[in-house]
Structure 1
Amino acid sequence: MNTAEDRHTPHATSDLGRRVVARRAELGLSREDVAERAGTTPAFLAYVEERVSTPGIEFLVRLANALETTVRDLTGSTADLAPGGARAGYRAQMEDIGEAECWELLDGHGVGRVAVEGRDGLMVIPVNYQVVDREIVFMTAADSSLARGAASGVEVAFEEDRLDEAFSQGWSVLLVGPVRRVSDETAVRRIRDAIHSEPWAGDGRDTVVTLSPRRVTGRRIRVPGAPGTPSGSAGQDPPRQ
């Protein structure tokens, strides 16, 4: 759990610092937690996060291990590579995720993908999303494929996932249902007040579209022995006879 000090931490000023802070938040770890794992002090970790610094490779390896990732990921070497390039984990297992946990994994907002019918056929578009009252909200351009589809209430598929490249495991959540364009000014104002951030793609995306899912499903890949895998879970070696 993040401490009050973490919530008031100045913005990171280096690429490495931003990646460390983001990974800490993803794992739900405080600065003290990561410092203890990496065998350093919270003060030095704060220096790495908040100032331009070039720590040695030995510390980077310890920090990557503490954050359950790789040095290449922390330093941005894999930023432009497609995810999922690691080898499959040993005795990996696929399991279903219940609807309640699917909503928890969406975590209120983020970036996912929408599959929608466009002028040239089916399209898959990366989108910023926000969860509001068990609906998925998108801000899009008025002439986008998503906005045009919403005008006629077409059904779309929305997908969000997370991959842990270091351990070849992860999860995926899929929501399917009709989309609609929100035009009521009061409703638009309420939704915009709840939105965490503006679309990454920039200005001109002020049309509000909501997805009301009729189906919410998820799947997870677990690797025995990897972080987050419950002890005694299925997939571990059976007791010897």
Structure 2
Amino acid sequence: MHDTPDPVAVARRIAERSGRLGISEVELARRAAMAPRYLRHLLEAGPGFDPGGFVRIAAALDSSRDELVSGRADAPPGHGGPGPHPRLQNLTEAQCWELVGTHGIGRIGLPVEPGPVVLPVNYVVDRASFAFRTAEHSTAAPADGAAVSFQVDHIDEYLGRGWSVLALGPAHQVTDPVELERLAGLPGASPWAGGDRPRWVRIRPEEISGRRLIAG
């Protein structure tokens, strides 16, 4: 069940937190007011065995029980580790477009000085292209015709599987008033970052590819 914490993952988070703070297992047991042997038993048994004990462990680590048991809500994906027997599967172009859907969050890679920059943007899919809104003088507003990359992915942290799609092609500013009005009416067109973002950028991929991570 998804609601049952994995004792191995919980023990790993506690060990990582202890390591960052420079606290040994013996010192952690002392701070949590329990015998080292009992602490080891708790880590092996999991939070369901003694919920109050994990509250004391969390307090000793200047953390919260929820963070130790479930992980940080804002942590990047990948903390759960790979699933059983992982393998990669190449995606067809049609599968790539199906996975990115009609809109979502992607990352645009821009060729700027002194080096490439990757920025998150919320996008819409429109006629085999990606389009997004940005401010007039934003870093995410590439020069017209600039070669860029655009990447979208999804990770299932619990099952250890997911997919990633990468598109390569030129970016162009949308200037036609009719097109601008139509794009603004598409689902997901409102910029998450808010503010005045009148500029629409379209990326029509010359190449799109993807891979799916399968487990089990």
What is the TM-score normalised by the length of structure 2? 0.65
Where does 1:197-212 land on structure 2 (aligned, <5 Å)? 197-212=189-204
Give the match for residue 183 of structure 2: 191
Gaps of 5+ in 1: 1-56, 59-71, 225-241
Does the CA contact (< 8 Å) of 1:117 and 1:145 recur in 2? Answer: no
Structure 2 residue aligned with 1:31: none
Please give the per-residue CA displacement for 1:172-201, whole angstroms capped at 9, x wherever unaligned.
Answer: 011110000011111111111224241111
Query: Secondary structure of 2:184's match?
Result: helix
Amino acid at match of 1:221: L
2: distance between equivalents of 1:150 and 1:192? Answer: 21
- Name the counterpart of 1:83: 77
Alpha-carbon distance in 1 for matches of 2:168, 2:77? 24
What are the Cα deviations for residues 20-55 of structure 1, in whole angstroms up to 9, with x where unaligned?
xxxxxxxxxxxxxxxxxxxxxxxxxxxxxxxxxxxx
TM-score normalised by L of structure 1:
0.59
> How many correspondences in the alignment?
152
Question: 1:128-162 CA deviation, whole Å, 9 max, x = no partner?
Answer: 00001111011011112332x242x1111111111
Map 1:155-170 to 2 at 5 A.
Answer: 155-170=147-162
More off after superposition, 190-199 vs 127-136:
190-199
| Aligned equivalent of 1:146 | 140
- Provide the C-alpha distance between the structure 2 equivalents of 1:157 and 1:218, rounded to a whole number of angstroms: 13
Q: How does 1:223-234 map to 2 (within 5 A)?
A: 223-224=215-216
Q: 2-side partners of 1:195 and 1:206: how far apart?
A: 17
Contact 1:199 1:205 in 2 (8 A): yes
Paired residue secondary structure (1:121): coil
d(CA) in 2 for partners of 1:205, 1:76: 37
Q: How far has the Cα of 1:114 moved from its partner?
A: 0.6
| CA contact 1:116–1:123 (8 Å) conserved in 2 | yes
Q: Please tell me the residue identity of whatever aligns with 1:106.
A: V
Regions of 4+ moved over 4 Å = none
Aligned partner of residue 219 in structure 1, secondary structure = strand
RMSD of aligned alpha carbons:
2.2
Q: Which residue of 2 aligns with 1:110?
A: 104
For residue 123 of structure 1, the aligned residue among 97, 104, 117 is 117
**2 CA distance for matches of 1:184 and 1:87?**
47
- Kindly provide the amino acid, as one letter, of the partner of residue 81 in structure 1: A
Q: Distance in 1 between matches of 2:126 and 2:93?
A: 16
In our comparison, the structure showing a higher alpha carbon Rg is 2
Query: Cα–Cα, structure 1 residues 191 and 143, in superposed 2: closer, same or farther, change >3 Å?
Result: same
Q: Alignment partner of 2:111: what SS?
A: strand
Q: Which amino acid aligns with 2:153?
A: D
Secondary structure of residue in 2 paired with 1:85: coil
Q: Distance in 1 between matches of 2:94 and 2:176?
A: 29
Which residue does the alignment assign to 2:206? 214
Higher relative CO (Cα under 8 Å, sequence separation at least 6) belongs to: 2
8 Å CA contact 1:171, 1:219 repeated in 2: yes
Match of 2:89 among 86, 95, 119: 95
Provide the C-alpha distance between the structure 1 equivalents of 2:70 and 2:180, rounded to a whole number of angstroms: 37
